Structure 1
Amino acid sequence: MVKHTPPSDWFHRAPNVGGLERIEAFFAGHGYELHRHDTYAIGRTLAGVQSFQYRGSRRHSLPGGTLVLHPDEVHDGEAGSDIGFQYRMMYIEPALIQQILGGQPLPFIKTGLSTDPRLFAATDVLMRSLDDPLDPLEEQDALFDLAHALSAVSGTSSKRQGFDYVAAERARAFMHSALDRPVTLDELAQHSGRDRWSLSRDFRLLFGTSPYRYLTMRRLDLVRSLLIQGQSLVSAALIAGFTDQSHMTRQFSKTYGLSPARWMKMHRR
């Protein structure tokens, strides 16, 4: 009797260019624990059934539709059938969407799934094989089309509300310059020219997450880059501004649903 070896989980990651991260992955069974990140996660299931918990319900993504997970929404991931699931996903910073739409509440797809052909068409270029590099101008055009498709499909109003996009963007830029040290909301308020509680409210509305979460995510971005370059977990954690390795590992697992060790193991496949 021939014994079949179950397929191994794997993922491939294209170079992160201009705030757009693209991956392709396969999971034979359980994929990710409950986690959240501060980017849009937009993608397609290529094969199998991709099941996940999202906003209080179990969702099932099939080939032919589009996944649109909103920033900071908790979700997990696992195979919905015994053949596993394969998918492509891109992670897009809300700041990119804001730059295209000119500062308005982020588009929101309530169920995390869409069968709207406008979204499927708008993701075609960005969802092609990771072996095919994107021309920079082609990528920018595709992002423009995607941002406007998201806005149209979600029904986001273009009417401006009472928020200060310029001040929130100043605070966001300042955080990128201070990854290696603690940052206070008072500092952000000083650099943005906006009072701290109004800034905190505006930041959530415009970028989909709190200032603290945003700063933590940028530090984790740096950790992943350092690990790929060969840095140890301890060194990567300290360089990226975490108090120690265990602090970084807790945040990493909460954010990606994988431990740093498992993430590195899958990345090397």
Structure 2
Amino acid sequence: MACLWKQHWSYWRNPPYTAVRFLFTTFVALMFGTMFWDHGSKTRRKQDLFNAIGSMYNAILFLGTQNANSVQPVVAIERSVFYRERAAGMYSAIPYAISQVVIELPYVLAQAVTYGVIVYAMIGFEWSASKFFWYLFFMYFTFLYFTFYGMMTVAVTPNQHVASIVATAFYGIWNLFSGFIVPRPSIPVWWRWYYWICPVAWTLYGLVATQFGDDVTSRIETNETVKDFIRRYFGYRDDFVGIAAFVVVGFTLLFALIFAISLKVFNFQKR
């Protein structure tokens, strides 16, 4: 509890991180909302669907990588303080790591709700309670796992600069295997295994399947229903959403766990 209280005041007194992230998210939400205005309600052409799905794909990578990058200097500075205070016997690594993870939860929730409400309304996705909940759910845990991924890269590397290089190396790979640039059915068999371990692919799967995977009334120019096209082209099934949600939460917990263990095991202090 003492560690959590310490993190609370540390974050509260750091508006360059907390407030700027919130303002940046609002700006991006308005930018994407105006750029993809009302595309969510247009499902008569393949291009309409690509536009709507593109809004999700761009948001995941744009805001996700921003979260991962912006948290790195915060964690790097806090880690230096942690080394001194742990040496003084004030607390151990695991309680500190848990507090660092927990303090991000409300801030990321505010970020996800802010972005989700603005974009969902402006893009014009279907106003269904379940669809809106799933949209917020996947956005929230996506922002979380990107944030925890950024924290993890700091914990496993000696400094922020190396952490940034390590983190950036995977952004391009996650982008390539997200399932948007190259849909899963079109990925060569010998590379398809990586699609299934790419967190961004599972996020996009969940978002698209919950919004369009059950649409059997709208038909595109090929005379397919939206549901059939989504399943054929992207390989998304609406009855697989629960698995996608489970995996996204799993990645969030995995990155948080690696962060905590790395903080306990590794010591990069210069002697």
Q: Structure 2 length normalisation: TM-score?
A: 0.30
Q: Structure 1 length normalisation: TM-score?
A: 0.30
Instruction: Give the structure with higher Rg (CA).
Output: 2
Larger strand proportion, structure 1 or 2?
1
Which protein has greater RCO, CA pairs closer than 8 Å, 6+ apart?
A: 2
Larger helix proportion, structure 1 or 2?
2
